[in-house]
Structure 1
Amino acid sequence: MTTLDQGSRISPVEGGVPPSMVDRMTVILDAFGGFSSRVPLEELARRTRLPRSTVHRILDSLLRLGWVEHSPGGYHLGPRLHRLGGGEGHHGEIRAAAAPVLNELHHRTGMIVHLGVLENTDILCLDRIGARPDSPANARVGGRVPAHATAAGKAILAGLVPEQVDLAYGGEPLRRCTDRTIADLPGLHRDLGRARARRGVTFARGESSGAVACVGAPVRVDGGTVAAVSLCGPLADAARLERCAPLVLEAGRAVAAALTSSVQLMSA
């Protein structure tokens, strides 16, 4: 299900229909890719490789129970999943403010867009736009990935002073996800220093997954970094991703402006 951690996903079954109703529901919910995605029925059937009539019947049940909703743009994940995925409270405010910006960034680049926040030393994925069940990007909505191995995580860590980074990791070795993952604090500090010189823009090349490259930028509000936006694609597209860095930085600033505006409206 969309709110489960990465590795729990049930992929579409080639050459057959998933054996149980729960499996089929999970495949359909995974096919959305993120809370902000709106997907037509025909596209859901194509992504899941399930019969259109089966997808429609299951969507009717999910709609009635609040797991999905329907709008002119298609189906999207509903309030029950928002609650399970941390949709209420501050995370929900960040995600709501970011949704139009994430969609625009995906539209302009055609690549997968993530929104993440820092939780301890992990990046928690709040939203993901443009991903399909077979996408290489491994950060799923509700999933956690070591922050030092991701562009989004490093964009937030770069907003901390070095002493705060040291305190967060407590002198412990950094967990390796691939042979490209930064594995020690001095190496991480060097990378974060370069990011600060680039106004917070960060890169990850095969560090969380050997097949994925990302560029990230911070969402700064009131002098602090509250979240990060990242753009991800195949490692072979790393050069193209890096050329998109100005767009990602612009998106981070747009999310910050939208979040500041929404907070001001609520407090008015």
Structure 2
Amino acid sequence: MTSALRLDSRPSEVVGQVLPPSMMERVTLIMDLFERPQTHLTLETVSRRTHLPRSTTHRILDQLVRLDWLRHTVAGYTLGQRALGLGGREIGHSALRSAAAPHLLDLAVRTRMVVHLAVLDGPEIYYLDKIGGRAAVDIPSKVGGRAVAHCTGLGKAMLAWLSPEEIDTRYAQLIERRTDHSIGHLDHLHSELRTVRRRNGLAIDRGECFPDLGCVGLALRGPEGPIAAISVVGDGSSSLELVAPLVVNAVKAVSEDHFGIG
């Protein structure tokens, strides 16, 4: 005789199957689906393959995104920076850094300013490269170092292309300020990112991260959002608007060389 389906209040019960009892087992089921860094899966796909209820799957995925084990993009869920790990991150970034290097050098020569290449890592940026000769010594940044994303041109250039919901998951209402010019509230950050989008992606930082420095940054964007960003940095009196077209050209060149996109 076929057993009748039992429905009770326990979320671990589904048709004909008892789900893994522990949260760790459920998380492991989900993470095992992401076999490659390029894997993108929708909520429905994850729920179907793990046999977890959709509501349970969504709750776990949301927590994994908040902790940066996964990222949520327009194409679905994919591995986040924490899951990739520092080693995997460096391997993935080495090709980008190599492709960008000649264009960063050319930009530094043309502007006589310090040039940065960085990626977004949660609410921070992670510096992949820094070029600028003697002038670089006076800029308190380093390859492999980090800075608060919302205080930098690099960070704002990338944050501008995330959804408002993604911004909200990265920041509290009150935001850490580095200087008197830093953004200190989530509403102000959303307003600033709208301004960046109106400038076709150009982000300006005037003394927001370091009091006497300014920079202009622009993101390299792929189909799924921001991939990295390039900026030029100078003292507070620098004419950032005048060098902005050169930053645009550098980003286009790197995009064409490395990603095959303009």
Identity %: 43
5+ long unaligned stretches in structure 2: 1-85
Residue 208 of structure 1 is matched in structure 2 by 209
The reply on whether 1:162 has 2:161 as its aligned counterpart is: no
Structure 1 runs of 4+ aligned residues shifted over 4 Å read 84-87
Q: Which of 101, 104, 112 is the matching residue for 1:102?
A: 104
Give the counterpart letter for 1:135 in structure 2.
Answer: V
- CA shift at 1:135, angstroms? 3.5
Residue 230 of structure 2 is matched in structure 1 by 229
Give the counterpart letter for 1:242 in structure 2.
Answer: E
Give the counterpart letter for 1:183 in structure 2.
Answer: G
Residue 254 of structure 2 is matched in structure 1 by 255
Whole-Å Cα distance in 1 between the matches of residues 150 and 186 of structure 2? 10
Spell out, residue by residue over 1:208-253, the C-alpha distance to the aligned partner (whole angstroms, 9 max, x if none): 000110000011123421000000001121xx12211111122112
Give the counterpart letter for 1:213 in structure 2.
Answer: G
Task: Give the superposed CA RMSD.
Answer: 2.1
Q: Is the 8 A contact 1:201 1:216 kept in 2?
A: yes
Cα distance change of structure 1 residues 241 and 133 upon mapping to structure 2, 3 Å threshold: closer
Give the counterpart letter for 1:163 in structure 2.
Answer: E
Give the counterpart letter for 1:187 in structure 2.
Answer: H
Whole-Å Cα distance in 2 between the matches of residues 85 and 116 of structure 1? 16
Q: Is the 8 A contact 1:86 1:92 kept in 2?
A: no
Residue 26 of structure 2 is matched in structure 1 by none
Whole-Å Cα distance in 2 between the matches of residues 221 and 228 of structure 1? 12
* Structure with larger Rg: 2
Give the counterpart letter for 1:149 in structure 2.
Answer: C
Whole-Å Cα distance in 2 between the matches of residues 221 and 203 of structure 1? 21
Whole-Å Cα distance in 1 between the matches of residues 87 and 234 of structure 2? 24
Whole-Å Cα distance in 1 between the matches of residues 236 and 209 of structure 2? 11
Q: Which of 100, 116, 119 is the matching residue for 2:118?
A: 116
TM-score norm. by structure 1 comes to 0.62
Whole-Å Cα distance in 2 between the matches of residues 85 and 108 of structure 1? 33
Residue 266 of structure 1 is matched in structure 2 by none
Give the counterpart letter for 2:256 in structure 1.
Answer: A
Spell out, residue by residue over 1:37-74, the C-alpha distance to the aligned partner (whole angstroms, 9 max, x if none): xxxxxxxxxxxxxxxxxxxxxxxxxxxxxxxxxxxxxx
Q: Is the 8 A contact 2:206 2:214 kept in 1?
A: yes
